[in-house]
Structure 1
Amino acid sequence: MLPWIQLDCAQIPGGGGELRLKQRGTEFSIMLGTNELMNSRLSGSEEALATLSWEKISPRKRPHILIGGLGMGFTLRAALAVLPQDALVTVAELVPEVVTWARGPMAEVFQGSLDDPRVKVHVGDVGALISASRNSYDAILLDVDNGPEGLTRAANDDLYDYTGLRAAKAALRPKGVLAVWSSGPDQGFTRRLRDVGLAVQEEHIRAGRNRGARHVIWLASTDASTVGAKR
């Protein structure tokens, strides 16, 4: 078996630790300590984050989607595949090197998605972007941690507490959707979503296409008819 080769590393702003980009043949991995945050061979649930969200808000004219976390671009590519040509996709990525990797060693994985005219990359904190927005997004898609807690850095906890969820709710347009990816369930987070007045639907999606661990995607909206019955 081919060995893993470390291509680069990057510090997460705010004391979040070090990301390491590794490659083995055509396979890529991004690690934080001993935790593998993402792997280029497993993209099913990240893609579902985009497609399930679009199903809840389509069809809309000139939809604006905010994606928190560039990662390996799976959510972005899936969004671009279903969104109309008049859509706007803002991708917020905290770590500048991740954008560099997307245009460099992982360019084949990204397949030119960053050059799509619908895409705008914001290098910075997605939480700050959400807090500064009002009635701006049709969908907010968050995949910045392994779940609704600050794994990559403690400050990310603010995205998932009551203050952060109220900010996300205010940043959504009417009947907009907040979608959050997680490696596993979290009943406390489900409760917090409902406590701030959001109707919630949970989806359990395989990490790969019909294989691998089951990940969780929360779909939350101010309008129960948008996300369907609570689960």
Structure 2
Amino acid sequence: MITRFEELDWQDTPIGELTLRRRTEPAVGQEIYEVRLGDEYLMSSLFTVAEEELSTLGLAAATGDDLSVLVGGLGLGYTAVTALHDDRVTSLTVVDRLGAVIGWHQRLLLPVSAELVEDPRTSLVEDDFFALVRAAPAEGEGDYSAILLDVDHSPRHQLDPTHADLYTVDGLRSLDRHLATGGVFALWSDDPPDEDFLETMRAVFDGVVAHVIDFANAVTGGTSSNTVYVARSRTAGEPASDRPSKAGS
């Protein structure tokens, strides 16, 4: 099978040259969509299991029937669209630093774009997620039922070094201010569970767990893994659990 590439968009962004392309993947015999930043692959529609699980696991830990969800990182849209599949979600705000990425979906260039942008619960916002959560919530904002984050490769390997402060105790405390009491923070990572980061999370949140997400890799013929961290904002006045949660699948 001949591999064909079609460049759907190219833009120079503050963090480098961003390219969206569609190609045929011989290993699966279907079209896939890929995002590259310079020479680095950022994401592919061939591997979306963990991105979808970020929403599924995060919202499974959320309580209530009127969920307000904030997603950091739009990308190909699979995390956001999976959140919309939960009928309890009444509002979904997706923040991405790159207007180009938001534009892809507004132009319906990606497989899930129409489902995402045509849902009245969805708001796409061009902003810096990390700057947003560093700042105190504005009056009438915040109190999210869940914050789902998929921007960096992992807590140790950031796409932009200015993101590093989020993965500290102080950074997570700042993010926690944007959650409702008992709200959920969930984070995608390309690395295996990181015990040091788990301890950092336990200093701020309750119910901390790292889920290992295994999925078939059609390119290598083997199995690949990502990690989804899930934690819960502490009930006001309630101390941290005396028994820290263990990482597990």
How has the CA–CA distance of structure 1 residues 230 and 212 changed in structure 2, closer, same or farther, with 3 Å as cutoff?
A: same
Deviation at 1:229, TM superposition (A): 4.2
Q: Distance in 2 between matches of 1:45 and 1:139?
A: 17
Q: TM-score, normalised by structure 2?
A: 0.81
> Which of 182, 185, 190 is matched with 1:175 structurally?
182
Q: Distance in 2 between matches of 1:197 and 1:90?
A: 22
Deviation at 1:151, TM superposition (A): 3.0
Q: Distance in 2 between matches of 1:207 and 1:154?
A: 29
Q: Say if 2:103 is the partner of 1:100.
A: yes
Instruction: Please list every run of 5 or more consecutive structure 2 residues that lacks an aligned counterpart in the other structure.
Output: 25-30, 235-239
Which residue of 2 is the match for residue 142 of structure 1? 149
Q: Distance in 2 between matches of 1:208 and 1:135?
A: 37
Q: Distance in 1 between matches of 2:32 and 2:58?
A: 28
Which residue of 1 is the match for residue 38 of structure 2? 33
Deviation at 1:121, TM superposition (A): 1.1
Deviation at 1:203, TM superposition (A): 0.3
The Cα RMSD (Å) is 2.5
How has the CA–CA distance of structure 1 residues 107 and 5 changed in structure 2, closer, same or farther, with 3 Å as cutoff?
A: closer
How has the CA–CA distance of structure 1 residues 215 and 106 changed in structure 2, closer, same or farther, with 3 Å as cutoff?
A: same
Q: Distance in 1 between matches of 2:84 and 2:156?
A: 27
Q: Taking CA–CA contacts closer than 8 Å with sequence separation of 6 or more, which of the two structures ends up with the larger relative contact order?
A: 1
Deviation at 1:52, TM superposition (A): 0.7
How has the CA–CA distance of structure 1 residues 191 and 102 changed in structure 2, closer, same or farther, with 3 Å as cutoff?
A: same
Which residue of 1 is the match for residue 231 of structure 2? 220
* Amino acid aligned to 2:180: R
Task: Tell me if structure 2 keeps the 8 A contact 1:30–1:38.
Answer: yes
Which residue of 2 is the match for residue 9 of structure 1? 10
Instruction: Please list every run of 5 or more consecutive structure 1 residues that lacks an aligned counterpart in the other structure.
Output: none
> Which of 209, 230, 237 is matched with 1:201 structurally?
209
How has the CA–CA distance of structure 1 residues 222 and 136 changed in structure 2, closer, same or farther, with 3 Å as cutoff?
A: closer
Q: Which of these two proteins has the greater Rg computed from alpha carbons?
A: 2
Which residue of 2 is the match for residue 79 of structure 1? 83
Q: Say if 2:209 is the partner of 1:190.
A: no
Deviation at 1:188, TM superposition (A): 2.4
SS at match of 1:201: strand
Q: Which has the higher helix share?
A: 1
Q: Say if 2:123 is the partner of 1:115.
A: no
Deviations 1:119-144 (A, max 9, x none): 11111011222233275111110001
Q: Distance in 1 between matches of 2:178 and 2:157?
A: 21
Which residue of 2 is the match for residue 70 of structure 1? 74
Q: Distance in 2 between matches of 1:136 and 1:187?
A: 28
